[in-house]
Amino acid sequence: MTINKANDLVRGLIGEDDYHHMKGVLAGFYDIAQKQIATTVSPIKKSFSVTCGVQTELPGDLYRLIKSDCSFQRTDDRHIIVQGEGSAQLLYYAYPSDINELCAGDTEFEVATEAQSAIPYFAAAYAVLSDSDMRRYYAFMDMYNTILTNIAAGNDAQAVITVVKTEDM
């Protein structure tokens, strides 16, 4: 899903007036949601090459090293030395790239496709958080949490998109 597609979905959820009022902060909401998803239910897996016996700098987007067959020693917060000879590939979970107001509309979210559908609900919820009537916030957060719960449970079912009529709220 792209930022433009997420913007269209949020506009449909919160309405044109609220969308234009909140459009400038949506990128920050997308960033928070994507990082929350990547560090909880839908990690981004990457790898990097190391030369064994040589101090190697860890990738800047590293969230957590995935257990590997290699023994390694951390020399500080940003470096490791892998034991042995030759070279090795290490797997890790990565933070997604930052999303801000400068990102192009065709920028794709980095978390798994099934998790991307939750991001607009998170953004819509926070876009209406200042409403005196909190029903829309709770409805959107419920959808966000339902999608993430299904992913965490390993449920292969696709998320159901529920249309919320704002005039009923």
Select the more confidently predicted residue: 167 or 134: 134
pLDDT of residue 167: 52
Task: Identify the CA nearest to 148 among candidates 136, 162, 137, 159.
Answer: 159
What is the rounded average pLDDT for all residues in the chain? 88
Identify the burial level of 29 via C-beta atoms within 10 angstroms of its C-beta, where 0-12 means exposed, 13-18 middle and 19 or more buried.
buried
Q: Could you tell me which residues are beta bridge partners of residue 72?
A: 82
Question: Domain ranges in the chain?
Answer: 3-39+96-168, 44-94
Task: Output Rg (C-alpha) for the chain, integer angstroms.
Answer: 20
pLDDT of residue 85: 87
Identify the burial level of 140 via C-beta atoms within 10 angstroms of its C-beta, where 0-12 means exposed, 13-18 middle and 19 or more buried.
buried
pLDDT of residue 131: 79
What pLDDT, in 10s, does the model give residues 36-85?
999 999 999 999 989 999 999 999 999 898 877 778 888 898 999 988 88
